């Protein structure tokens, strides 16, 4: 399918004063209280309690003040007295057959009469078949194009377009099935004022709208009701059209139109408009059936978008997880996020990214210098910020970081940590349904004269962030969670780590040794080491140098032990090596390597210190607890001390 570009249309930027006036003028028009109907039909308003005609279109004013039964049509009276008529009732009035639509929910009650169209009966239109043909389509673009094609075949209109309404109010033509000699409007955009807010709201209440003749001035409604009680024609079929809109249609070469709302989750998301170059009218029952087709399209669009959203969410989650996962380990934060194999730019495409964590700034790609970007970020405050038009929305900031049009700031903490994505200007062209300028209008409030494609150059904006903005804030939440977990893990590790040497501490040793002994599946030996003559080092050179010596001792013990052994500092100058899956003889070799390593002089600055160590070994045989095993190794160490120091004892 043709892939239409997504365009963010900023109302405050693109609309000039005249467009704002047009939108305001259109939005204040009382389209429900227009007081006229299209002249091909008849309208009666009837008092519910008396059956008296209290209002009538000008072509039926002779019935004003008379009971509805006096019209001579029993079916008219029957239609009014029998509930809400979803489908029309066939009746004859003054020798003409009409489809009668009764609106029982209004006050007064309203009857509309449309002349029957004998050569276009509902049974020959194939609406059900059309619904079946589109029911299997899951791609939104293909669905709307195929539905427009079906509508054209059913209605016989020259052109059938499908509109999509964007979040900012403007629309885009996403399907255009037309006769070969007609100019294509596919992909063109149109301003919000073409279909003003109150008209869109009415489409939620009444799902179709037919305009039979753009040259029809309409018929007034004669009424016996007071001026303070105008008749609400909002849900009627025959409601007349504003002269402005009729001129708009004539300028487009349209003599007749019929439109069907596309509603998704209670919101008007689009519309099918059938247009004909000569007068053409569809029977009301056919319009009802085509409303069902449009409803089917709306339902399928909901499903398709939900599926697309779920698929996209899963893909985005996978990308975020791949980037954030290293943070749960010991990876450097900047390396993981902006210098790794996968970076945050794989989650949120941008020209560059700026990361500030704990006051340290890292960048990747094209990013303004930190001394320029930092003040802008800080000026925007601690909350998130999204703009794809910084020179337009915040020119005072844009001038400080020239070249940046898109800015997306994600807070990572309350202390100023930030993840910032930047994009440069992406000048692009937007094709509009007709020149939007005053040159294409008789007056600033007039409709456009021509609707040929008109190209507008859009500057001062980056590519729109769109769904990537949410991706960025979701990524920020994931990063915050990972950093919190990492900090908690580091705190937990510190609680089990000796701060001076980096070795495990007494708490960890007790917990881990108890766990291993409880499992009972591994052979365990413990080497207990105590430094010789270490007190003299502190007394002679001070505790600061003594701490440096202890730190060196820790590194040497790690070098003497195996990677599977547990090396811990109990406190002071006492150390323990837990040897797993070894016999006592093998543990003795490990203990001897440790003692030999500590005989080597230790240099701290200009001071050379000579110390040694005595070691005791104990195995788990007959010693079921960690305390008993450590006591036995401690006792063996003291035997080594008494035997002359610098040796290993069992």
| Residue 313: CA count within 13 A, CB half-sphere | 6
Taking CA atoms, 578 is separated from 156, 189, 586, in Å, by 89, 75, 12
Per-residue model confidence (pLDDT) at position 82: 64
Q: Give the pLDDT confidence score for residue 459 in this predicted structure.
A: 82
> Which pLDDT value is given to residue 621?
75
- Residue 204's alpha-carbon distances to 103, 161, 197, 270, 648, in angstroms, are 17, 19, 11, 11, 90
Please report the pLDDT score of residue 16 as a whole number: 58
pLDDT given for residue 13 in this prediction: 39
Other beta carbons less than 10 A from residue 201's beta carbon: 13
- Residue among 592, 461, 610 at smallest CA distance from 537: 610
Tokens representing residue 594 in the block: 């440790």
- In the predicted model, is pLDDT for residue 105 greater than 90? no
pLDDT tens-digit series, residues 628-647? 999 999 999 999 999 988 89
In the chain, pLDDT over 90 holds for what percent of residues?
56
pLDDT of 9: 41
Numbers of helices and strands, H then E, in the chain: 18, 27
Residue 184 has pLDDT above 90, yes or no: yes
- Give the global pTM: 0.70
* pLDDT of res. 18: 60
Q: Cα–Cα distance between 600 and 270 in angstroms, integer? A: 83
Query: CA nearest 498: which of 427, 533, 550?
Result: 550
pLDDT tens by residue, 143-162:
999 999 999 999 999 999 99
Q: How far apart are CA 276 and CA 257, in angstroms?
A: 6
| Range name among 1-5, 179-183, 400-404, 492-496 with the lowest pLDDT average | 1-5
On whether the CB atoms of residues 172 and 188 are closer than 8 A, the answer is: yes
Q: What is the pLDDT of residue 4?
A: 41
Dihedrals φ, ψ of 243, to 5°? -55, -35
Assess whether pLDDT exceeds 60 at residue 3.
Answer: no
d(CA 114, CA 237): 9
Assess whether pLDDT exceeds 80 at residue 298.
yes
Mean pLDDT of the chain: 88
Q: Residue 475's closest CA among 354, 341, 337, 579?
A: 337
Residue 416 has pLDDT above 70, yes or no: yes
Listed residue (398, 448, 433, 460) closest to 13, CA to CA: 460
Question: What's the pLDDT score for residue 622?
Answer: 66
Percent of the chain with pLDDT over 70: 92
pLDDT of residue 6: 40
Cis status of the peptide bond prior to 108, with omega within 30 of 0 = yes
CA–CA dist 286, 296 (Å, integer): 15
Tokens of 584: 């006592």
Extended strands (E) in 265-347:
267-276
Residue 443 has what pLDDT?
A: 76
| Token pair for 513 | 């040794």
* Residue 125: band (very low, low, confident or very high) from pLDDT cuts 50, 70, 90: low
Residue 202's pLDDT band, with cuts at 50, 70 and 90, is very high
Residue 415 corresponds to which tokens in the numbers above? 């202390």
Angstrom distance (rounded) from CA 516 to CA 578: 10
Structural contact between residues 309 and 300, judged by C-beta atoms closer than 8 angstroms: no
Among 183-197, 380-394, 435-449, which stretch is predicted with the lowest mean pLDDT? 435-449
Indicate if the pLDDT at residue 2 is higher than 60.
no
Q: Residue 451 corresponds to which tokens in the numbers above?
A: 């609707």
Highest averaged pLDDT of the listed ranges 81-90, 435-444, 531-540, 592-601: 592-601
Q: Are the CB atoms for 12 and 393 separated by under 8 Å?
A: no
Tell me: pLDDT of 348 over 50: yes
Per-residue pLDDT band at 15 (split at 50, 70, 90): very low
Q: pLDDT: is 82 or 171 the higher one? A: 171
**Residue 306: which residues within 8 A CB-CB, separation 6 or more?**
none
Instruction: Give Cα separations from 19 to 12, 164, 188, 201 (angstroms).
Output: 10, 20, 18, 20
pLDDT of residue 14: 44
CA dist 472 to 317, 347, 478, Å?
Answer: 11, 7, 10
Using pLDDT thresholds of 50, 70 and 90, give the confidence band for residue 219: very high
Whole-number pLDDT of residue 251: 92
> Within 10 A of 278 (CB to CB), how many other CB atoms are there?
9
Q: Comparing 72-76, 300-304, 459-463, 544-548, which segment has the lowest mean pLDDT? A: 72-76
Residue pair 46/111 in contact (Cβ under 8 Å)? The answer is yes
CA atoms within 13 A on the CB side of 88: 24
- The mean pLDDT of 370-375, rounded to a whole number, is 93
Average pLDDT over residues 517-531: 87
- What are the beta bridge partners of residue 612? 532
Q: Report which DSSP code applies to 32.
A: G
Summarised one tens digit per residue, pLDDT across range 255-268 is: 999 999 999 989 99
What does each C-alpha distance from 280 to 26, 40, 96, 121, 254 come to in angstroms?
Answer: 26, 12, 19, 14, 10
What's the pLDDT at 227?
Answer: 87
Q: Is the pLDDT of residue 473 over 90?
A: yes
Distance CA 50, CA 52 (A): 5
Token pair in block for residue 143 = 């669905």
CA distance 620 to 628: 9
Between helix 284-324 and helix 140-155 the angle, nearest 10°, is 170
pLDDT in tens, 491-509: 766 677 888 888 888 888 8
**Residue 27 CB coordination number (10 Å):** 13
pLDDT in tens, 424-445: 998 777 888 888 777 888 877 6
pLDDT at 7: 40
Distances (CA, A) of 437 to 125, 182, 277, 441: 42, 24, 26, 7
**Catalytic residue ranges:** 573
Residue 1: what pLDDT? 37
Query: Which tens digit of pLDDT belongs to each residue from 44-63?
Result: 999 988 889 999 999 999 99
- Strand stretches in 319-379, DSSP E: 352-357, 360-365
Q: Token digits for 144?
A: 């709307």
The CA angle 534-535-540, to the nearest 5 degrees, is 100
Report helix angle 467-495 to 284-324, nearest 10.
Answer: 30
CA dist 38 and 36 (Å) reads 7
């Amino acid at each position: 399918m043709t892939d239409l570009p997504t365009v963010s249309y900023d109302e405050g930027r693109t609309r000039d004063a005249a467009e704002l006036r047009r939108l305001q003028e259109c939005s204040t028009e009382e389209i429900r209280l227009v007081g006229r109907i299209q002249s091909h039909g008849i309208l009666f308003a009837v008092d519910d309690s008396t059956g008296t005609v209290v209002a009538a279109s000008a072509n039926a004013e002779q019935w004003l003040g008379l009971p509805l039964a006096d019209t001579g049509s029993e079916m008219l009276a029957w239609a009014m007295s029998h509930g809400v008529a979803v489908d029309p009732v066939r009746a004859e009035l003054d020798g003409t057959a009409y489809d009668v639509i009764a609106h029982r929910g209004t006050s007064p009650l309203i009857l509309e009469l449309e002349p029957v169209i004998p050569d276009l009966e509902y049974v020959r239109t194939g609406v059900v078949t059309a619904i079946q043909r589109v029911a299997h389509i899951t791609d939104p673009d293909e669905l709307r194009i195929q539905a427009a094609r079906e509508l054209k075949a059913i209605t016989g209109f020259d052109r059938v377009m499908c509109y999509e309404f964007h979040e900012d109010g403007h629309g885009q033509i996403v399907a255009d099935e037309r006769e070969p000699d007609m100019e294509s409007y596919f992909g063109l955009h149109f301003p919000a004022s073409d279909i003003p807010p109150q008209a869109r709201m009415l489409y939620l209440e009444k799902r179709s709208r037919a305009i039979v003749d753009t040259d029809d001035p309409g018929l007034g409604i004669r009424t016996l009701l007071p001026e303070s009680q105008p008749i609400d024609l909002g849900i009627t079929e025959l409601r007349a059209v504003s002269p402005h809109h009729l001129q708009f249609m004539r300028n487009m070469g349209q003599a007749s139109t019929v439109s069907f709302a596309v509603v998704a989750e209670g919101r008007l998301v689009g519309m099918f408009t059938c247009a004909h170059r000569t007068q053409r009218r569809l029977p009301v029952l056919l319009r009802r059936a085509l409303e069902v087709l449009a409803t089917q399209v709306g339902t399928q669009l909901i499903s398709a978008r939900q599926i697309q959203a779920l698929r996209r969410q899963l893909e985005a989650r996978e990308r975020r997880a791949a980037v954030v996962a290293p943070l749960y380990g010991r990876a450097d934060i900047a390396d993981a996020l902006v210098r790794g194999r996968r970076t945050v730019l794989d989650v949120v495409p941008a020209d560059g990214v700026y990361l500030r964590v704990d006051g340290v700034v890292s960048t990747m790609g094209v990013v303004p210098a930190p001394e320029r970007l930092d003040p802008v970020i800080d000026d925007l405050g601690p909350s998130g910020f999204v703009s794809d038009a910084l020179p337009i929305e915040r020119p005072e900031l844009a001038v400080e970081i020239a070249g940046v049009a898109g800015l997306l700031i994600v807070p990572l903490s309350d202390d100023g940590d930030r993840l910032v994505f930047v994009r440069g200007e992406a000048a692009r062209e937007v094709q509009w349904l007709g020149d939007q300028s005053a040159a294409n209008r008789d007056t600033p409030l007039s409709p456009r004269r021509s609707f040929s494609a008109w190209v507008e150059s859009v500057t001062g904006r980056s590519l729109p962030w769109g769904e990537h903005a949410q991706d960025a804030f979701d990524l920020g939440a994931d990063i915050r969670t990972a950093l919190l977990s990492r900090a908690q893990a580091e705190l937990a590790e510190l609680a089990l780590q000796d701060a001076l040497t980096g070795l495990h501490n007494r708490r960890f040793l007790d917990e881990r040794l108890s766990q291993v002994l409880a499992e009972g599946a591994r052979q365990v030996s413990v080497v207990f080491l105590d430094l010789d003559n270490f007190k003299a080092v502190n007394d002679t050179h001070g505790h600061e140098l003594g701490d440096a010596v202890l730190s060196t001792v820790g590194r040497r013990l790690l070098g003497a032990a195996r990677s599977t052994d547990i090396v811990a500092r109990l406190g002071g100058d006492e150390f323990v090596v837990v040897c797993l899956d070894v016999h006592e003889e093998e543990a003795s070799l490990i203990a001897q390597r440790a003692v030999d390593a500590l005989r080597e002089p230790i240099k701290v600055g200009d001071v050379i210190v000579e110390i040694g160590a005595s070691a005791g070994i104990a195995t788990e045989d007959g010693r079921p607890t960690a305390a008993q095993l450590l006591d036995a190794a401690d006792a063996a160490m003291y035997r080594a001390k008494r035997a002359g120091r610098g040796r290993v004892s069992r």
